Amino acid sequence: MTMFRSGARDTRRPGPAPEALRLVKVRRTYGSAENAVTALDGVTLSLARGTFTAVMGPSGSGKSTLLQCAAGLDRPDGGIVCVDGKELTGGGEAELTRFRRGRVGFVFQQYNLLETLTVAQNTVLPLKLAGRRVDRNRAREILTSVGLGDRLGHRPDQLSGGQRQRVAIARALVTEPRVIFADEPTGALDTRSARQVLLLLQEAVRVHGRTVVMVTHDPVAASYADSVVFLADGRLAGRMESPSPDAVAERLAHLGDDMPVGV
Ligand SMILES: Nc1ncnc2c1ncn2[C@@H]1O[C@H](COP(=O)(O)OP(=O)(O)OP(=O)(O)O)[C@@H](O)[C@H]1O
Ligand SMILES: [Mg+2]
């Protein structure tokens, strides 16, 4: 294997890298032989800290695979993933789990809350799993910040979809992760609840300096982000800064024909 020589990069300042996320030639293939599907075909991408990025593209273009690989929930077959300047690829399973618990938060389309736990217990679960001390007030504080300070003792099945997703966001934020990944977080929500969720993600970036990467099919949702990264057939197919819903919809129309109808 080739070694990086100094000169290729600045090694004088050992401080933390300014990038929140870096992917270099990331490949992910599912299945084998004639059944093989290349979900990611050499994706190279760099996202700065404190940015909100939307990932868009036709169904099957590799968006979820990209997020899962970037978050350490899945392993690429090739390439490098760095979160917050630390390489994720290459380590063992235990190391990966520790890494994920410390630096990454994930929000799913279907919330993935544990139905037997209360809202407060769901929210602080990542702290417990990471073996971190759970301050009694932490759940209240973070749930209040997502507008659910009065729901601590409720179970998920007593909440609306939008409220559940806000619990999931509180859970993703509770460890103060560097990067929050969200895979179609508004996909199951009505317009009003979706807006609340998008504003919370935006606030995580603008107020708390976190980095958010969000997959969405909705050009309006994407317009809450600072930029959009487009995927097609497992490859990067462009990037757009300061996206407007119209500009995003227009670009999507030229990416593929099997795109679900947006807003
Ligand atoms: N576990 C798996 N086993 C086999 N193939 C898979 C698996 N997961 C994903 N794929 C394939 O990889 C490709 C990319 O899938 P992925 O889920 O990343 O797409 P996506 O862009 O998130 O699509 P959608 O918008 O429908 O959620 C698809 O062709 C899919 O069928
Ligand atoms: Mg997906």
Pocket of ligand 1 (CB under 6 A): 30-31, 37, 39, 57, 59-65
Residue 7: pLDDT above 60? no
Virtual torsion, Cα 137, 139, 144, 145, nearest 10 deg: 110
Amino acid, res. 172: A
H or E element that contains 122: helix 119-129
64 CA from centroid of ligand 2 (Å): 4
Strand extents, DSSP E, the chain: 19-30, 37-48, 52-56, 78-83, 86-87, 104-107, 179-183, 211-215, 227-232, 235-241
H or E element that contains 102: helix 93-103
Residue 114: pLDDT above 80? yes
Residue 244: pLDDT above 80? yes
What is the distance between the alpha carbons of residues 184 and 194, in angstroms, rounded to a whole number? 10
Residue nearest to atom 3 of ligand 1 (CA): 30
Pairing of strands 227-232, 235-241: antiparallel
With a CB cutoff of 8 Å and minimum separation 6, the contacts of 134 are 124, 127, 128
Q: How many structural domains compose the chain?
A: 1
Residue 23: pLDDT above 60? yes
Residue 229 within a domain: yes
13 pLDDT band, cuts 50/70/90, is low
Residue 153: pLDDT above 50? yes
75 CA from centroid of ligand 1 (Å): 14
Residue 259 within a domain: no
Atom of ligand 1 nearest to the CA of 40: 14
- For residues 4-24, give the mean pLDDT: 63
Residue 171: pLDDT above 90? yes
Is-contact 182 129, C-beta < 8 A? no
Residue 131 within a domain: yes
Give the pLDDT of residue 100.
85
Residue 151: pLDDT above 60? yes
Pairing of strands 179-183, 211-215: parallel
Residue nearest to atom 30 of ligand 1 (CA): 60
Give the pLDDT of residue 261.
47
Residue nearest to atom 1 of ligand 1 (CA): 30
Residue 3: pLDDT above 50? no
Residue 11 within a domain: no
Range in 109-118, 172-181, 217-226, 249-258 the model is least confident about: 249-258
Residue 10: pLDDT above 70? no
Residue 200 within a domain: yes
CATH value at residue 138:
3.40.50.300
H or E element that contains 247: helix 245-253
Residue 190 within a domain: yes
**Ligand 1 site-directed mutation target among 63, 214, 255, 259, most atoms within 8 Å of CB:** 63
What is the distance between the alpha carbons of residues 148 and 45, in angstroms, rounded to a whole number? 35
65 CA from centroid of ligand 1 (Å): 6
- For residues 84-93, give the mean pLDDT: 84
Residue 261 within a domain: no
Which one of the ligands is nearest to 73 CA? 1
Q: Which residue segment(s) compose the domain that 231 sits in?
A: 19-253
Atom of ligand 1 nearest to the CA of 184: 27
Residue 263 within a domain: no
> What percent of the chain clears pLDDT 70, i.e. is strictly above it?
90
